[in-house]
Structures are given as structure tokens and as C-alpha cells.
């Protein structure tokens, strides 16, 4: 079996599919993308092209590179061509029974050489692959959103995933210009979401306890630890300041942190009132007074500059 991954099938053209498709097409792969809803597939292709145009506009790629990537994408109406792929990446609804049935089906129609990957953000690949006859080829490849700008992809090894599968996917993602990390234990939340949920839990607790306002919590993260994380991680920080000092700080602070295994009261109360965030117009913020499109634009402009800087270093 060749280790090369040259043909990739993207199942799901919603939020994550187009960005992933663009990443692998730019890496030189023949790329198929499908969705069970025809309108979603049409919208996914549109988003694929918008993502390419954005990278051209900001001089991350050339117009010629964008045109070549477009020529590598083929939208298809169903899974009939999945059997020709070296790698299938699932980006469908985040519901375990649906994913289990999907993986059972593609396990039956794809040759054993095809790696079957899930873009799940929190489910265990071991559970997703529970109905498969060949779970050794099932693996998580969690692209972080937005998939065309974020470098991180979490490669999670399931309880029955082979080492060969993990290494093939890891090497492929490096060729795509991504920064993959490997999780050797298949836990809910993988790696980065576990870290992120710990921050979210404490952020909600700080607000509900009256320690600081919503805006000041955001500012503390954005202008404090968050701004240096790209080059200075938490474990590097401990080594730099000294583990003895780190231990002393933890001994003082950890006993006072939120250690609940349930969601905070503040967020529960918001949900109970129907304040679900942008989708309802109000959550932690009043979105009738803020523009989510502007926020996403600011995010993407920041990320694309970071991407450009990374590519120059490489």
C-alpha cells in the first residue's frame, strides 16, 4: 500500500467542509466534495471559491495557485466516488448515531487502503467507529475553525486505530501546511478543546461570581495570555519562570478556581431565557448592538496575517 495521499473525499459541505477542501486542493490533491443537501453543496463550492479569493487578496497564494486549486475540486452528488479516495474526511452533523451509521457505510464501500477520518470537535473516534469492521483505519482529524486559516489539526488515535493510519495522516497534513498534533488517548474534547473548555469554565465563573465583567474577561484573555500563546505556550512559561514559582502560584490559586463538572449557572440561566448568542440576538453580549460579521472579519484578518508570517518563516 502506498503511503501517498493524493485523492481526498470531503463528506459534508457545511461550515468546515469548504475550508478543508481548499486546504487539500492547494496541497495538490484531487478533491471531491459532497453533501446530502444539494443547496448546501452549492453553497459549499461558493465558500470554497470565496476562501481562495480571500487568500489571493491578501497575497498568501497567487491567482494561478487559486485557479489550479479550483480545477482540482469536483462537487459530486453522492458517495459513489468515495471508493477512489485515499482519504475520506467526514464533516457531517455532530451526532454520534448519525456518524456511526455513516462510518459503517463508508467502511463497507471503501477499499481497505482508504483512511476514514472524522472532523468531530468532541466525540471519540473509538465510539464513532464502533460499527465498523475495520476500525484500524478510522482516525480523528479535527481541523480548527476557520479551516482554511487555522494551522492546527488534531489527529486523535482511537482505541483500535493503527499507528500506520496516524502516521500517514500526520505526514499528509504537514504537506498541506498544517500543524498537526497527535493525541494518543481518545478522550472527549481531544487536546485543544479540553484546554479551551477549562478557560471557558473559569471565564463564566469569574463573570457569575462578580469578579469581573464580561468585557474585562475578554480583554484579559486577548491582551494577556492570549496574545503571547502563538510563540509562548503554558508549559514553556512554567519552565521559563521556574517550576518552583509555578508550583507556588498553583498552590495559591488552584483551590479558588471553579472545579465544577457541570456548566456554570450563568450560562444555564442565559440558555433558559432563550439568550443563545448571535442566533437569538443576545447572549453574553447584545448582538443588536454588535456586528458578528465585523467580528469574524477582524478574526480572519488577524489569522491571515499570522498565516503569511508563518509561510515566510517556512
Q: Is the pLDDT of residue 1 over 50?
A: no
pLDDT at 311: 72
Q: Is the pLDDT of residue 313 over 60?
A: no
The helix or strand, by DSSP H or E, that contains position 7, with its residue range, turns out to be strand 7-11
β-pair partners for 312: none
In a domain, 1, yes or no: no
pLDDT at 308: 86
User: What's the pTM value of the predicted model, to 2 decimals?
Assistant: 0.92
Q: Is 154 a catalytic residue?
A: yes
Instruction: Take residue 45 and report the three cell numbers written for it.
Output: 463550492
pLDDT at 215: 96
CATH of the domain at 246: 1.10.1040.10
* pLDDT tens profile 249-265: 999 999 999 999 999 99
Domain final residue, candidates 119, 149, 183: 183
Pair (206, 287) in one structural domain: no
Q: Choosing from 40, 121, 145, 162, which is the catalytic residue? A: 121
In a domain, 2, yes or no: no
Pair (176, 215) in one structural domain: no
Range of the domain at 207: 191-261
pLDDT at 105: 98
Strands 87-90 and 138-143: unpaired
Q: Choosing from 65, 193, 202, 218, which is the catalytic residue? A: 193
Q: Is 148 a catalytic residue?
A: no
Q: What is the mean pLDDT of residues 177-201?
A: 95
| Mean pLDDT of the chain, nearest integer | 95
Q: Is the pLDDT of residue 91 over 50?
A: yes
Q: Is 121 a catalytic residue?
A: yes
pLDDT at 310: 76
In a domain, 267, yes or no: no
Dihedrals φ, ψ of 88, to 5°? Answer: -115, 130
pLDDT-derived band at 138, boundaries 50, 70, 90 = very high
Q: Is 305 a catalytic residue?
A: no
Amino acid at each position: 500500500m502506498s503511503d501517498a495521499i493524493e485523492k481526498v473525499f470531503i463528506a459534508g459541505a457545511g461550515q468546515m467542509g469548504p475550508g478543508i477542501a481548499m486546504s487539500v486542493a492547494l496541497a495538490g490533491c484531487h478533491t471531491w466534495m459532497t453533501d446530502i443537501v444539494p443547496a448546501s453543496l452549492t453553497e459549499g463550492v461558493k465558500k470554497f471559491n470565496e476562501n481562495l479569493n480571500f487568500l489571493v487578496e491578501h497575497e498568501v497564494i497567487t491567482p494561478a495557485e487559486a485557479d489550479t486549486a479550483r480545477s482540482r475540486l469536483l462537487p459530486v452528488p453522492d458517495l459513489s466516488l468515495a471508493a477512489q479516495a485515499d482519504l475520506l474526511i467526514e464533516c457531517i452533523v455532530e451526532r454520534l448515531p448519525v456518524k456511526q451509521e455513516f462510518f459503517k457505510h463508508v467502511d463497507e464501500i471503501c477499499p481497505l487502503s482508504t483512511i476514514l477520518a472524522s472532523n468531530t470537535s468532541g466525540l471519540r473516534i473509538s465510539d464513532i467507529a464502533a460499527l465498523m469492521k475495520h476500525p484500524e483505519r478510522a482516525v480523528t482529524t479535527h481541523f480548527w475553525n476557520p479551516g482554511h486559516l487555522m494551522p492546527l489539526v488534531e489527529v486523535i488515535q482511537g482505541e483500535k486505530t493503527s499507528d500506520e493510519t496516524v502516521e500517514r495522516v500526520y505526514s499528509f497534513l504537514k504537506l498541506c501546511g498544517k500543524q498537526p498534533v497527535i493525541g494518543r488517548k481518545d478522550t472527549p474534547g481531544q487536546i485543544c478543546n479540553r484546554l479551551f473548555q477549562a478557560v471557558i469554565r473559569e471565564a463564566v465563573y469569574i463573570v457569575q461570581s462578580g469578579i469581573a465583567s464580561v468585557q474585562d474577561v475578554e480583554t484579559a484573555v486577548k491582551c494577556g495570555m492570549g496574545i503571547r500563546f502563538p510563540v509562548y505556550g503554558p508549559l514553556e512559561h512554567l519552565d521559563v519562570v521556574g517550576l518552583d514559582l509555578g508550583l507556588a502560584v498553583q498552590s495559591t490559586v488552584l483551590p479558588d478556581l471553579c472545579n465544577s463538572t457541570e456548566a456554570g449557572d450563568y450560562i444555564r440561566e442565559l440558555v433558559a431565557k432563550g439568550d443563545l448568542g448571535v442566533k437569538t440576538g443576545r447572549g453574553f453580549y447584545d448582538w443588536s448592538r454588535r456586528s458578528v460579521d465585523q467580528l469574524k472579519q477582524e478574526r480572519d484578518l488577524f489569522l491571515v496575517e499570522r498565516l503569511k508570517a508563518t509561510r515566510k518563516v517556512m
